[in-house]
């Protein structure tokens, strides 16, 4: 479902960080347009 799609990734320090989501998305064939990890505390 992500093949050929561009994705914007916002990860969280205490949840799932951006790089981990990015690797999943790339494995699913998506192109990462933007990726960041934020800390909400």
Partner 1 sequence: MAVVVKECAYALVHVPNFVRYGSKPIRDISVSGGHGGDLEKKIYAHVRSFEEAVAYPPNQVFVGNLHPDALHDIPQPWYEHQVKDARKDGPFGEILAEDQFYGWMKAADDFDLVWLAPEFIGRIRDRVASHPLISEADLSKLGSGVAIGKIIDKINDDAALPLFFDGEVVGCLRRDHDADDTLKAHVLMENLLTKASGALVMRHLFKRAGIEPGDVDFILSCSEDAVGDRYNRGGGSLSKAIGEMCRCVNASGHDIKAFCAAPIHAIVDAAAQVEAGVYDRVVVIGGGCLAKIGMKYSGHLKNNMPVLEDMLGCIAFLITKDDGASPVIRLDSVGKHNIGAGSNQQDIMTSLIVKPLDRLGLRMIDIDKYATEMHNPEITLPAGSGNTPLTNYKIMAALASIRKEIDRSAVDDFVRQRGMPGFSPTQGHIPAAVPFLGHAALDMKAGRIKNTMFVAKGSLFLGRMSQLSDGLSFLLEANPNIRK
Shortest distance in whole angstroms from residue 5 CB to partner 1: 22
- Between CA 5 and CA 27 the distance in angstroms is 12
Tell me the per-residue interface mask from 2 to 41 with partner 1, x by CB under 8 A, - otherwise: -----------xxxxxxxx----------------x-xxx
Q: Which is nearer to partner 1, 3 or 38 (CB)?
A: 38
Look at the block and give the residue holding tokens 């914007």: 8
Look at the block and give the residue holding tokens 């561009």: 6
Tell me, rounded to whole angstroms, the distance of Cα 19 from its chain centroid.
6
Q: Which is nearer to partner 1, 3 or 41 (CB)?
A: 41
Sign of torsion over alpha carbons 15, 24, 22, 7: negative
Q: Which residues of this protein are in contact with partner 1, per CB under 8 A?
A: 13-20, 37, 39-41
């Amino acid at each position: 479902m992500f093949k050929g799609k561009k994705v914007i990734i916002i990860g969280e320090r205490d949840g799932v960080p951006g790089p981990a989501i990015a690797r999943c998305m790339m494995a699913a064939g998506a192109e990462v347009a933007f990726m960041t990890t934020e800390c909400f505390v």
